[in-house]
Amino acid sequence: MAVLEIIDDDGEAEALQIALLDGTSVVCTVWTDWSLRVERRPDTELPDYLWPVDAYSRRPIVPDIPEGGLEVRSLVTSADEAGTPVAADLELDGYRISARSWGGRIVLSVVSRP
């Protein structure tokens, strides 16, 4: 398991990727309509809409994940007044991860919890 920030060449966050133990992943990104898209993927590759591939890299945002991974405690999504998905809050063992659409960009935060 890995919790990764996908960044562009300028170091700007483009997506959150959670690589799961079964080889699949969940990717959160802000779509062209500024909605937050949460996508379950059959692999851990970069989504094809992040192209060219060499313009993006990944960096871990949750350190020292044990070999057996972390348990997902909850996932709560939020929408704006028009019903457009704009936020996702994920609770893992010891961490809360937030992904938000803000001005057409993804904003990520990670809080360590005892």
Q: What's the rounded mean pLDDT across residues 32-57?
A: 96
pTM of the model: 0.93
Query: Which whole-number Å values give the CA distances from 96 to 16, 21, 69, 74, 76, in the listed order?
Result: 13, 19, 15, 10, 11
Using left for φ > 0, alpha for ψ between -120 and 50, and beta otherwise, residue 55 falls in: alpha
pLDDT tens sequence across 56-94: 999 999 988 999 999 999 999 999 999 999 999 999 999
| Residue 114 reports pLDDT greater than 90 | no
| Pairing between β-strand 36-41 and β-strand 95-102 as defined by DSSP bridges | unpaired
pLDDT at residue 98, as a whole number:
98
Label residue 113 by pLDDT band (50, 70, 90): confident
Dist. CA 114–CA 111, nearest whole Å:
10
Report domain extents, the chain. 2-112
Label residue 95 by pLDDT band (50, 70, 90): very high
Query: At 112, is the secondary structure helix, strand, or coil?
Result: strand
What percent of the chain is predicted at pLDDT more than 90? 95
